[in-house]
Structure 1
Amino acid sequence: MEKIFIYLHNDMTDLSLIEKYMGFYHKFFASSLDPSYSYVLDLYIDNYLAGQAIIYYIRGGLRGVGVVYYVVVDERFRGRGLGKILVSSAEQIFEDLNLDFSIATASIDNVVSHRMFKSLSYDEEDLERISRICSHQIQEMILKLSCGYEDDLLFYKDLRRPAYENNIKSLCKTINQLDKDVVERHWLRSCYRPWRSYRSLIRL
């Protein structure tokens, strides 16, 4: 019988599966996360690294939001629900941290991510519509919080309520209660500055 276990750590330099399947660009961004509020989940089958997820959280005031940043499964183990195991494990960490929501972003053509998050009772919203549903300021905060500028869709799950009570306006209210300075510092460190550094690298 196979032994499946997850090793949790915050060594942002040890991202071998992210780099192998998503490339240096995404590994570069993931490695820029602050390890004081970020985690790597390494999923092993026996002693083989079969999956990897990068997560982090932002807390401000009484509210907090967890972000599922990257989820990758080795191609030899796909179709076995390992991505769901990683995301469910991330949710458990977020709940232990008393966070309010788990969120993720994805491109509209990422069918695998779409199926995975929907199967785990995440609701979906077009990132462009959030400015109309809530406000432009909330849309910007979500983009800065998630580093989701290249994505089209937001997936979100209320960790405090059953799935049928998932509500985009409740998420927006939670986002609005976050410390905006904390969100801004995260965006500068983990989204904007890595983007500028990467542009400088590719010009060399």
Structure 2
Amino acid sequence: MRTAALAIAAAASVLLSAAPDKALADRPMAIDEAGVLERGETKLDIGVERIDDARGPFAALAHGLVAGLEAELQLQRMRDRGTVPADAIDVAGVALKWVPLSSEQGLSAGVKAGYAEEHGERNGESRLHTLELLLHWETRSGLRAIANLGRASLHSAGSRETFGTWGFGFDVPVGRAFHLTVESFGAEGSGPDRQLGLRYRLAPNLALWLAGGRGNDANFASLGITCVF
């Protein structure tokens, strides 16, 4: 299966700016937009994810520290029923995102640095460091074109592997309450993952979302809720 650590490396997740619609953005996309929460604003994502025979809950908490700077904590627990006995996988990650160039329309750009640890009963511990360039372009209609380009270093079983990561996609408004997301992302040395998603805004600070995709001989899906306060 595609491990949780490699999923983080290939996609590197979570968060956005200013208006309520933007604060709710990102999920269910795996790639990340060049935006941050307002100072003092907090966002909570709670959901469940499945990657082939592995599935389990996750939670991500992000907070706007100062203008243009955001911190994030993510926790995940998965159980892989494709192994005998089933393997429990725990992932914990932290990240900082800095966006010096932010625009309501046109180009926004920033960088994101992350660190994650994965603990598996079968495969032991692995550690992942990531650094990404985040770009997005927003049109007057609200459509966003998003691109990520990064570098990751994975430490596992006494070895170290360094590889590039990439991603691009579109966040497309459909009516007043729905957004359709389309994306492709991956890591150097492997094929692309492709994912479709849908986000529904229940209230100015509350959204439901779901997504599904396939890549590298694995099927994956997620479902969850986002709240900004």
Q: TM-score range by the shorter chain?
A: 0.3 to 0.5
Q: Which has the higher helix share?
A: 1
Normalising by structure 2, report the TM-score.
0.32
Q: Which has the higher strand share?
A: 2
